[in-house]
C-alpha cells in the first residue's frame, strides 16, 4: 500500500495531448485513435494545441454533429487523468446522454494501457462518475443541481 501511495509523489511523464491520444487512446472496441480521421482536432493551432497551452482556459468547439467534439472531450479528460490527475466534470443536457458518455469513457479508460489498472472492478463502478485511483470524472446533467453542487473540479466538459 505504501509503494502505491508514494507513486503519487513521483514525477509524471510529460506528454503533449495529441501524442498521448495517438499512443494510448483506445475506443471501447480496442481500436486506436487515428488523428488523421479528425484532422481539425490535431491541426496546428487546433484544439489539442489549445489543451497544451497553459494560457488557454476555455476551448470552444463549434462544428457539425458527429465530428468528434465529445470524443475530444473524452480523450482530454483521460489525458488529464493520466498525466495531471485532478477531479473533472462532464455535463450533458439529459441524464441518459450523460450516463451513456460516462459509460463509453469508462470503456475507453478500460482499453487504455495507462489507465485500465486504475479503474475499480466492473461490479464496483458507478455510472455517475468515472473513478480512477487519483481522480474522478463526475457526470452531471441539466436540472440536476445535486450532481453539480460542491464538486471541486479543474476540467469541465
pLDDT digits (tens, 9 = 90+) for 99-111: 999 999 999 999 9
pLDDT tier at 1, thresholds 50, 70, 90: low
What's the mean pLDDT when you consider all of the chain? Answer: 88
pLDDT of residue 3: 75
pLDDT tier at 19, thresholds 50, 70, 90: very high
Q: Quick one: how many helices (H) and strands (E) in the chain?
A: 7, 4
pLDDT of residue 32: 93
The model's pLDDT over 93-149, given as tens digits with 9 standing for 90+, comes to 898 999 999 999 999 999 999 999 999 988 888 888 899 999 999 988 887 766 677
Cell digits for 114? 495507462
pLDDT of residue 147: 64
User: How many beta carbons lie within 10 A of that of residue 80, not counting itself?
Assistant: 20
Q: Give whole-number Cα distances, 131 to 10, 39, 51, 149, 153, in Å.
A: 21, 30, 22, 18, 14
141: phi then psi, degrees, rounded to nearest 5? -150, 165
The model's pLDDT over 69-82, given as tens digits with 9 standing for 90+, comes to 899 999 999 999 99
Question: Burial of 27 by CB count in 10 Å (0-12 exposed, 13-18 middle, 19+ buried)?
Answer: middle
**CB-CB contact of 72 with 123 (8 Å):** no
47: phi then psi, degrees, rounded to nearest 5? -60, -40
Amino acid at each position: 500500500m505504501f509503494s502505491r501511495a508514494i507513486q503519487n509523489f513521483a514525477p509524471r511523464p510529460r506528454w503533449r495531448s495529441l501524442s498521448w491520444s495517438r499512443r494510448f487512446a483506445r475506443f471501447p472496441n480496442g481500436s486506436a485513435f487515428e488523428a488523421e480521421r479528425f484532422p481539425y482536432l490535431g491541426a496546428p493551432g487546433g484544439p489539442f494545441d489549445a489543451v497544451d497551452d497553459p494560457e488557454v482556459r476555455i476551448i470552444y468547439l463549434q462544428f457539425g454533429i458527429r465530428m468528434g467534439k465529445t470524443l475530444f472531450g473524452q480523450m482530454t479528460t483521460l489525458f488529464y487523468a493520466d498525466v495531471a490527475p485532478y477531479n473533472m466534470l462532464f455535463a450533458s443536457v439529459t441524464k441518459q446522454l450523460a450516463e451513456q458518455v460516462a459509460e463509453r469513457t469508462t470503456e475507453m479508460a478500460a482499453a487504455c494501457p495507462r489507465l485500465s489498472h486504475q479503474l475499480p472492478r466492473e461490479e464496483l463502478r458507478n455510472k455517475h462518475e468515472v473513478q480512477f485511483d487519483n481522480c474522478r470524472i463526475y457526470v452531471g446533467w441539466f436540472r440536476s443541481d445535486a450532481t453539480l453542487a460542491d464538486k471541486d473540479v479543474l476540467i469541465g466538459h
